[in-house]
Amino acid sequence: MGYSGARGGLEAILAAERLVRDARDHAPAPWASTTQITARFRLAVDRVQGEAGLYHEPTAADAFRQAEGDTLEAAHLVRAHRSTLPRLAVSEAVDPDEMVVLRRIVPAHRTPDGPQLLGRTTDYTGRRLERPAQAPARVPTEAAEPPERTPEQRHPTRFSALLRSLDLLVEHPRPEAEPFDVTRRPARPPAPRSAVLASMARAETGALVSLWYRSVLGPDGDIHEVTLGEVRHGHLPLRVRHPHTGRSVEIGRFRATETEAIEDLDGPDEDRTRFDVGYGMCFGHNERKAIAMANLDIACRRFGRTGPLEQLLLLTTDGLDSAGFLEHLKLPHYVTFRSMVERKQAMRATGTATEPPGRDCQ
């Protein structure tokens, strides 16, 4: 790419940055605190954490505020910040069955083993806009205590375990011992399943949902049958090895969303008497991403090795890559475009523009 700095370019850049800061510092509303953002914009903060690949709510909230609500820009800020942090330890693999479930729905079964925990959601309410001036006055009350749940309810048996007990699931080889770390080296097709899942966990949510929707649409626009087995949102432990004792130590907890999708196998080389299960997990509460991940996991396993799906998942769904390329188009391209203009003029002057394609024109 050919770039050319305009005269006075540095002064213009500094002035543009000052306009952003002045508008932010002199806004009519007070500056939102980090605590307010994490409490009021919970889902946006979780989305920033997932797409940035760093679980720390205050950092994601600060980035969200600095980016003026642009979640993609906020994720970019967090990733840049993440690159400056030292890597003190590597966390141990966690068993998803350890999740303390806050929300659990099983759309595929009316009475699953364990409760249906609706949790905190607006899935079942009408989309009616409430404006502050129209909202009824609320009398301050103490926050309602969450209902008491037994350990069995907070750690319910998976719906896929029921299918496995009925011998209805396809068995796959165990995954690789060491998961692929997409933060240390780029994943390129063909890639192990852990690399694809990790790439989807950090993918831009909208890009992933769009790709999933296209994958379930048939050539005639009809939607292929999709069954969602289970969706969970809850807390998982974070453990590392103690540097002196070598023992596993829990140093914190983090929230995650986990999904299992069920696929009805009907391919010529597939066992049509069984189902397959796709898996998705991401930071925070982001059910759209986890559901898309689970369905794309199955699609990639069934068709990705022979089609472009795996390449699309690995190379085009990262929001920072795609948006970064798009954003760079706003930078000066004077030299590049001038060379294109001169090439067109030279072709017109020599008459090569009217020659048939493929002929060697001198």
- pLDDT, tens digit, 9 for 90 and up, residues 110-169: 888 888 999 888 888 888 888 887 555 655 555 555 667 787 778 899 999 999 999 999
Using DSSP's 3-state secondary structure scheme, residue 304 falls into helix
Task: Indicate if 163 and 200 belong to the same structural domain.
Answer: yes
Q: State whether 175 and 255 are in the same domain.
A: yes
Band the pLDDT of 4: cuts 50, 70, 90.
Answer: very low
The pTM of the whole model exceeds 0.85: yes
Q: What is the average pLDDT across 41-59?
A: 96
Question: In this structure, is residue 240 part of a structural domain?
Answer: yes
Question: Residue 361's pLDDT band (boundaries 50, 70, 90)?
Answer: very low
Is residue 313 in some structural domain? yes
Question: Is the backbone peptide bond immediately before 146 cis, with ω within 30 degrees of 0?
Answer: no
> Nearest-CA neighbor of 198 among 117, 297, 120?
297
Structural domain including 65 reads: 11-82
- Which SS3 state, helix, strand or coil, does residue 255 take? strand
Q: How many residues does the chain have?
A: 362
How do residues 283-303 score in pLDDT, each as one tens digit?
Answer: 999 999 999 999 999 988 887
| Beta pairing class for 275-283 and 248-264 | antiparallel
pLDDT above 50 for 220: yes
Question: Are 222 and 267 in a shared domain?
Answer: yes
Residue 205 lies in a domain: yes
Q: Is 194 helix (H, G, I), strand (E, B) or coil?
A: helix
Q: What is the pLDDT of residue 306?
A: 58
Positive or negative, the CA dihedral 208, 192, 261, 270 is: positive
85: left (phi over 0), alpha (psi -120 to 50) or beta: beta
The answer to whether the CB of 193 falls within 8 A of the CB of 301 is yes
Let me know whether 65 and 161 are in one domain.
no
Q: What percentage of the chain exceeds 90 in pLDDT? A: 50
- 100-105/275-283 β-pairing: unpaired
Q: Are 289 and 203 in contact (CB under 8 A)?
A: yes
Same domain for 231 and 186: yes
Q: Give the H/E segment covering residue 237.
A: strand 227-241
Q: What is the pLDDT of residue 3?
A: 42
> Do 207 and 280 sit in the same domain of this protein?
yes
CA 196 vs CA 152, 186, 234, 260: distances in Å: 32, 11, 23, 16
Q: Rounded mean pLDDT of 47-76?
A: 95
Quote the CA–CA distance of 192 and 28 in Å, as a whole number.
51
Asked whether residue 180 falls in the same domain as residue 307, the answer is yes
Q: Are residues 157 and 28 in the same domain?
A: no
Claim to verify: residue 230 and residue 256 sit in the same structural domain: yes
Tell me which residue of 328, 292, 327 sits closest to 203, measured CA to CA. 292
Return the pLDDT at 355: 58
Cα 337 to Cα 2, 322, 333, 340, 353: the distances in Å are 8, 22, 6, 5, 18
Residue type, 295: N
For residues 240 and 92, is the Cβ–Cβ distance under 8 A? yes
Query: Considering the domain boundaries, does residue 194 fall inside one?
Result: yes
Residue 172's pLDDT is what? Answer: 83
**Is 115 contained in some domain?**
yes
Q: 56 and 114, same structural domain?
A: no
Q: Could you report the per-residue pLDDT of 331-359, keeping only the tens digit for each?
A: 888 888 999 999 999 998 888 766 555 55
Please check whether residues 63 and 171 belong to one and the same domain. no
Closest-CA residue to 68 (of 94, 102, 104, 37): 37
DSSP letter for 148, please: P
| Number of domains forming the structure of the chain | 2
Q: Which two tokens stand for residue 300?
A: 């990639």
